[in-house]
Amino acid sequence: MKSFYVVVTDIEQGKFSISGPMNDDTNITAQVCEAQDKGRKINCSSAEVGMTKDEVRISI
């Protein structure tokens, strides 16, 4: 299994957080879904280990 980073973007606050590298994003994804269910405008996406900053910006 490949390692990756998880990027969580808070659209309302204009902030983002990067976690990782990791192999399992189940916990973070569950937290994002829970926050979305409560009306928060946040998203999560993944970025491969080794991507440049520009590649990560394009991917999210």
Q: What is the pLDDT of residue 52?
A: 74
CA dihedral 37, 12, 59, 17 (to 10 degrees): -90
Q: What is the pLDDT of residue 58?
A: 64
The pLDDT tens digits of the residues spanning 1-59 come to 788 989 999 999 999 888 888 999 999 999 999 999 999 999 999 888 887 767 766 66
Strand 4-10 with 15-22, pairing: antiparallel
Can you tell me the distance from the alpha carbon of 46 to that of 34, in angstroms, rounded to the nearest whole number?
18
Phi, psi of 45 (to 5 degrees): -150, 170
Question: What is the token pair recorded at 40?
Answer: 């928060």
The pLDDT tens digits of the residues spanning 33-42 come to 999 999 999 9
Looking at per-residue pLDDT, the higher value among 60 and 35 belongs to: 35
Q: What is the pLDDT of residue 50?
A: 80
